[in-house]
Amino acid sequence: MSFTYDTEVALSSAAALINTAKEDVDPLDTLDGLDRFLTEQRFSGSRTHTESELESVRALRSELEVIWFAEEDDAVALVNAILRRANALPQLVRHDEWDWHLHATAPEAPLEERMATEAAMALADVIRGHELDRLRSCAAEDCDGVVLDLSRNRSKRFCDTGNCANRTHVKAYRARKAMGV
């Protein structure tokens, strides 16, 4: 199944947000780190640049991780809770370099609310398409990052937080060499 580009972007941003908690140094420890993350993820709209905003985004990170691994019925309840909390009212918008896509909050809504709603709308598409199995954990033994598998053949196994795939393949290669294979 392929998703619309805005759904894929929102899902990728949600995975990136969740994975910030998995890094050795949390990039969301500071307001500057949040600024860098939002720039990398190309989030638009208003900002308060406050510690409260940072804490709200960090709380969202945990909430999205729970949804990432939830069973369908539980994921539905959690996604609906986010949409209710934001009084989501989906509408088509076009801004910056983006063509028509859905926003469900006003640009001046609080950052955490906009981020949560974008993720919830994307997760709603995943649930409606019965594609929750595309949301999974990294296959590397030493990583607990999340993976968004958008591949056609559902083959993505490793996260995008570092070199998990390379590290795992090198380890397997060295093990085979040590065994003389």
Report the b/e string of 60-90 with b at 16+ CB within 10 A: bbebbbebbebeeeebbebbeebbeebebee
Model pLDDT, residue 1: 60
Instruction: Give yes or no for a contact between 158 and 147, defined as CB atoms under 8 angstroms apart.
Output: yes
Query: Percentage of the chain surpassing pLDDT 90?
Result: 73
pLDDT tens-digit readout, 101-123: 888 998 899 999 999 999 999 99
Q: Please name the helix (run of DSSP H) or strand (run of DSSP E) that holds residue 178, with its range, or none.
A: helix 164-178
Contacts of 68 (CB under 8 A, 6+ apart): 14, 15, 18, 135, 146
Record the tokens describing residue 112, joined without a space.
Answer: 């955490």
Instruction: Give yes or no for a contact between 146 and 156, defined as CB atoms under 8 angstroms apart.
Output: no
Owner of token pair 């085979």 = 176
pLDDT tens-digit readout, 28-46: 999 999 999 999 999 989 9
- pLDDT (tens, 9 = 90+) of the chain, 181 residues, equals 689 999 999 999 999 999 999 998 999 999 999 999 999 999 989 999 999 999 999 999 999 999 999 999 999 999 999 999 999 988 888 888 889 988 899 889 999 999 999 999 999 999 999 999 999 999 999 899 999 999 999 999 999 887 898 888 888 888 888 888 7
Record the tokens describing residue 145, joined without a space.
Answer: 């990052």
Q: pTM of the predicted model, to two decimals?
A: 0.86
